[in-house]
């Protein structure tokens, strides 16, 4: 493998069969894209658990949540001509889109950052209300002083947006509601204020004119966001030609804010790259990876529920060592370490095109 990542020898560190389903009759189909944080001396993952009912021959069934939290199973005949199942993630029926699985978030902790287990009595975080009826996904965790901010994808028939939940103790959560309305996802908060303001990377989509680009917004209070600026476009002919989106919180280095982001082609091959933003004026892009710092190569990355995917929204930093946790092939959870220095020094970043 020619990328800069040192993959864990134990990969994958978590597989669907390692976790119990959240309700009777459901199966854990995939584990994906964990948020990561440190709390009470341990490393924690907030894993996205995607579930559906056991599939019966001739039928296609999938779960949704009622706005009051009740689980409902919808079912179609698999030979119905109105049904389109070409993307394993999506069920299209008569022009209406649903997801094949319903995702919630599960907390797991570890002493060593490699072996993770669910603490007893830990409660999953599930979708709530009319903006989360198709589930909650891909949560970033930012710690600002003693407070943890969870920015995650809210999915419902209303669209895909970014929700915010806030906690200090991982037992009580304040639901702050949707902070970026549809279509938006991949929201990563900066973990400190710059010039007195909070900043967030986010990824609106503008399908007709524009695209799936990384934007920056600022806020006085983490709830109200404005002064939006576009930081990074997808790049024709490159590994990030169809869409780009931020990973976890930007990492503060002497050279600037280092952001690990994902880029995908229209064939949905997802790789990781780096962006370097100015420390005081984070809307100024100093450098960008011309080639990926990590790309699908191991068999658990190339094959699975949705192969050729490396997707991260969580990491921990320890001196020069960046440990990235990622979803591989939308199926299993893996880890890899990088030297931050080696990312900053890589010729592809130093000479990188700006947008
Ligand atoms: C979506 C993301 C992730 C997922 C990838 C690949 O864009 O939001 O949830 O891992 O696609 O399927």
Give which of 111, 147, 86, 110 is closest to 34, Cα–Cα: 110
> Mean pLDDT throughout 37-66?
96
- Asked whether residue 328 carries a pLDDT value surpassing 70, the answer given is yes
> Mean pLDDT throughout 287-291?
95
Q: Give the distance (Å) from ligand 1 centre to CA of residue 59.
A: 25
- Asked whether residue 302 carries a pLDDT value surpassing 60, the answer given is yes
Q: According to the model, what pLDDT value does residue 349 have? A: 84
270 lines ligand 1 (CB under 6 A): yes
Do the Cβ atoms of 300 and 332 come closer than 8 Å? yes
Confidence band, pLDDT 50/70/90 cuts, at residue 352: low
Choose which CATH entry (1.10.420.10, 3.40.50.300, 1.10.510.10, 2.115.10.20) describes domain 6-350. 2.115.10.20
DSSP H stretches of helix in 38-162? none
pLDDT tens-digit readout, 159-183: 999 999 999 999 999 999 999 999 9
pLDDT tens-digit readout, 230-266: 999 999 999 999 999 999 999 999 999 999 999 999 9
Q: Give the distance (Å) from ligand 1 centre to CA of residue 142.
A: 20
CA angle 324, 326, 327 (to 5 degrees): 175
31 lines ligand 1 (CB under 6 A): no
What proportions of the chain, in percent to the nearest 5, are helix, strand and coil?
5, 50, 45
Query: Residue 138 CA: which ligand 1 atom is closest?
Result: 9
201 lines ligand 1 (CB under 6 A): no
Q: According to the model, what pLDDT value does residue 351 have? A: 61
pLDDT tens-digit readout, 70-129: 999 999 999 999 999 999 999 999 999 999 999 999 999 999 999 999 999 889 999 999
Q: Give the distance (Å) from ligand 1 centre to CA of residue 275.
A: 20
Q: According to the model, what pLDDT value does residue 293 have? A: 97
User: Residue 81 region, left (φ>0) first, then alpha (ψ -120 to 50), else beta?
Assistant: alpha
Domain ranges within the chain, ordered by starting residue: 6-350
218 lines ligand 1 (CB under 6 A): no
Q: According to the model, what pLDDT value does residue 317 have? A: 98
pLDDT tens-digit readout, 335-351: 999 999 999 999 878 66
Q: According to the model, what pLDDT value does residue 121 have? A: 87
Q: Which one of 271, 311, 328 would you pick to mutate in the ligand 1 pocket, going by the greatest count of ligand atoms within 8 A of its CB? A: 311
Query: Residue 32 CA: which ligand 1 atom is closest?
Result: 10
Q: Which one of 152, 240, 305, 330 would you pick to mutate in the ligand 1 pocket, going by the greatest count of ligand atoms within 8 A of its CB? A: 330
306 lines ligand 1 (CB under 6 A): yes
327 lines ligand 1 (CB under 6 A): yes
Mean pLDDT of the residues in the chain: 96
Q: Give the distance (Å) from ligand 1 centre to CA of residue 205.
A: 14
103 lines ligand 1 (CB under 6 A): no
Would you state the structure tokens that stand for residue 239, as one six-digit string?
A: 């590994």
Query: pTM higher than 0.85 for the full model?
Result: yes
pLDDT tens-digit readout, 189-231: 999 999 999 999 999 999 899 999 999 999 999 999 999 999 9
CB atoms < 10 A from the CB of 348, how many?
Answer: 18
186 lines ligand 1 (CB under 6 A): no
Confidence band, pLDDT 50/70/90 cuts, at residue 2: confident
Q: Give the distance (Å) from ligand 1 centre to CA of residue 173.
A: 25
- Asked whether residue 17 carries a pLDDT value surpassing 90, the answer given is yes
Q: Give the distance (Å) from ligand 1 centre to CA of residue 196.
A: 33
Confidence band, pLDDT 50/70/90 cuts, at residue 1: low
Round to whole Å and give the CA distance between 263 and 243: 6
Confidence band, pLDDT 50/70/90 cuts, at residue 9: very high
């Amino acid at each position: 493998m020619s990328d800069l990542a040192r993959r864990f020898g134990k990969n994958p560190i978590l597989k669907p069969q390692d976790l119990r389903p959240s309700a009777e009759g459901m199966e854990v189909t995939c584990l994906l894209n964990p948020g990561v944080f440190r709390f009470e001396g341990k490393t924690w993952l907030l894993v996205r658990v995607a579930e559906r009912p056991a599939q019966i021959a001739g039928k296609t069934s999938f779960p949704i949540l009622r706005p009051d939290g009740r689980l409902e199973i919808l079912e179609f005949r698999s030979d119905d001509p109105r049904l389109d199942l070409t993307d394993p993630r999506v069920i299209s029926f008569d022009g209406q889109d649903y997801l094949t699985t319903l995702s919630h978030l599960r907390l797991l902790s570890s002493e060593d950052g490699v072996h993770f287990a669910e603490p007893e009595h830990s409660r999953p975080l599930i979708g709530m209300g009319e903006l989360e009826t198709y589930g909650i996904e891909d949560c970033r965790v930012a710690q600002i002083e003693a407070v943890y901010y969870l920015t995650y994808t809210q999915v419902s028939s209303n669209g895909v947006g970014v929700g915010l939940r806030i906690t200090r103790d991982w037992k009580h959560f304040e639901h702050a509601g949707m902070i970026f309305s549809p279509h938006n996802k991949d929201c990563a908060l900066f973990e400190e204020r710059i010039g007195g303001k909070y900043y967030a990377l986010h990824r609106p989509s503008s399908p007709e004119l524009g695209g799936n680009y990384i934007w920056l917004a600022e806020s006085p209070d983490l709830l109200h966001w404005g002064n939006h600026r576009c930081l990074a476009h997808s790049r024709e002919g490159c590994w990030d030609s169809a869409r780009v989106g931020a990973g976890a919180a930007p990492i503060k280095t002497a050279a600037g804010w280092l952001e690990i982001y994902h880029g995908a082609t229209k064939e949905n091959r997802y790789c990781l790259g780096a962006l370097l933003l100015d420390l005081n004026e984070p809307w100024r892009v100093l450098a960008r990876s011309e080639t990926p710092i990590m790309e699908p190569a191991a068999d658990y990355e190339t094959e699975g529920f949705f192969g050729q995917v490396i997707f991260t929204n969580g990491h921990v930093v320890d001196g020069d060592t960046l440990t990235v946790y990622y979803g591989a092939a939308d199926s299993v959870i893996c880890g890899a370490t990088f030297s931050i220095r080696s990312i900053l020094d890589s010729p592809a970043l130093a000479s990188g095109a700006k947008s």
